[in-house]
Chain A
């Protein structure tokens, strides 16, 4: 069975600075991967390459066996930590927007029966994230957690092949975050999604999803910290990791590396 996402020996460099090196990764349809790593260690770069806003320096990324287009498209949904929803549209119209853009290439507005269908579809999607009480509110009237629910609904109504989450709950309170975890797991099972989620919170990585990917440097040159890029240091099925391993990864991820030259990171 061929993988949904296939990274083939991908490198990413900015000038002399190597961010990612020799990255080989296959993700099957239906997986829920969480990605952790010290800040700046290439995990956001990975996501940006998947999204299409950056291109790999070497190697290739395949989606469904085809080369990934080098700009964002409707096959990949995204929820950022902030600025994922449109401030000038109400909740309902935020979710309708994707359907309208897909359905009316010239005007970007649907009318008549098509509009009613889109409205109905958006309404259902909003109900499934628990926002059907706030249809006519503007995003600025919503709490941070509700805004992220809206962002999820907005992406999912398009039925993307993969859903990318860039620290989506990083700015939320712990209690709200737990609710959001439940919601994401629920949406994932009900919609047969493939999810890649970046997180700072290692616990989140351990308990959410099916697979944990840890990014860190594979080799180190103390004289030239930018010389080598990061790669995948752990690739674990979630649920099999024990306490000791958790502690070990936590040390890798959360502690600043003792380097003679303090670089920005990777």
Chain B
């Protein structure tokens, strides 16, 4: 018998072991839900799978009686739009400022203390200010996401630029490169895959700020919906919505990973630790 630290699961065993906790969770839920419903058929806390099915059908397939819209899709597009705008802006800010801070000592001297201070402000504490300044519309939600994620991306990009071997920058100078060309042809292409990594890491925070902003002031959106139906203890809607948000988060991450692999074929083999 090999030592435990040397035992590798086979492919089949690996998949089975990975699925096992999920199956267990579902079984535990089903048993608990069944027990509660047997005692009180109107229990709302742990709805049966059948009522999930009804709720999903109601939210995702039938047009809403009042507005005529299919709520799940309206909510999804509203949330994804805000998320993409916010994270996209953050990525752009992160790229521009991160490279400036990392590549130009003068920019670093001037801006690094400001960025460090901004990144220490808890973004949620700014939300009232944003609502006062930008109103309750889309802008304040997007700005909250930007505030929550951009400082991290800026600092991460700065770090990545400064991690590039000095030798490469010296070499580029001996190849007649000026500062702008070196940024354009040596630094930028090498940190772009790092930007994708940074965006993937900050997506969790972006969802947090999105749902928080939607919960407080919105008329549509995934976060708005689950906080709205909370008043009716509508677990049959909330739980599928949470699962849907999780799936969206996973898909976004998967797509970004795919983009990174296809767009930067040189990146990966031995260049960094895998994910």
Residue of B165, B174, B184, B270 near A155 (CB, 8 A) is B174
Indicate if B258 sits at the interface (CB-CB under 8 A). no
Q: How far is the CA of A138 from the CA of B186 in the complex (A)?
A: 15
The answer to whether A101 and B266 have CB atoms under 8 Å apart is no
Q: Can you list, as one digit per residue, whether each of A66-97 has a CB less than 8 Å from chain B (1) or not (0)?
A: 00000111101110101111111100000001
Taking a contact as CB atoms under 8 Å apart, the answer to whether B266 and A88 are in contact is: yes
Query: Knowing A83-B165, A88-B190 touch, does A108 contact B184 (C-beta < 8 A)?
Result: yes
User: Interface size class for chain A?
Assistant: 35 or more
Given contacts A101-B185, A105-B181, contact A88 B173 (CB under 8 A): no
Residue contact B269 to A77, C-beta cutoff 8 Å? no
* Interface-central residue, B180, B184, B266, B269, by most chain A CB under 10 Å: B266
A80, B271: Cβ atoms closer than 8 Å: no
Within 8 Å CB of A71, what residues of B?
173
> Which secondary structure characterizes the binding site on chain A?
loop
How far apart are B105's CB and chain A's nearest CB, in angstroms? Answer: 13
Within 8 A of A (CB), among B53-108: none
Whole-angstrom CA separation of A106 from B264 in the bound complex: 24
Contact A73 B176 (CB under 8 A): yes
Confirm or deny: A194 has a beta carbon within 8 angstroms of a beta carbon on chain B: no
Number of B interface residues in the complex (CB < 8 A): 26
Q: Are A154 and B175 in contact (CB under 8 A)?
A: yes
Given the known A-B contacts A88-B189, A88-B190, are A108 and B181 also in contact in the complex, defined by CB atoms under 8 Å?
Answer: yes
Chain B 152-188, CB within 8 Å of chain A: the 1/0 string?
0000000000000101101111111110110011100
A242 shortest CB reach to chain B, Å: 37
Given A88-B189, A140-B270, verify A102-B167 contact (CB < 8 Å).
no
Given known pairs A82-B167, A84-B167, A88-B264, the reply for A108 and B185 (CB within 8 Å) is yes
A-B contact pairs, 23 of them (CB 8 A): A51-B174, A72-B173, A73-B174, A74-B174, A74-B176, A80-B167, A83-B167, A86-B171, A88-B189, A97-B175, A97-B185, A98-B175, A98-B176, A101-B172, A101-B185, A106-B180, A108-B181, A108-B185, A140-B266, A140-B269, A140-B270, A151-B171, A154-B175
A interface vs B, CB < 8 Å? 51, 53, 71-74, 76-78, 80, 82-89, 97-98, 100-102, 105-109, 138-141, 151, 154-155, 158, 160
B contact residues vs A (CB 8 Å cutoff): 165, 167-168, 170-178, 180-181, 184-186, 189-190, 264-267, 269-271
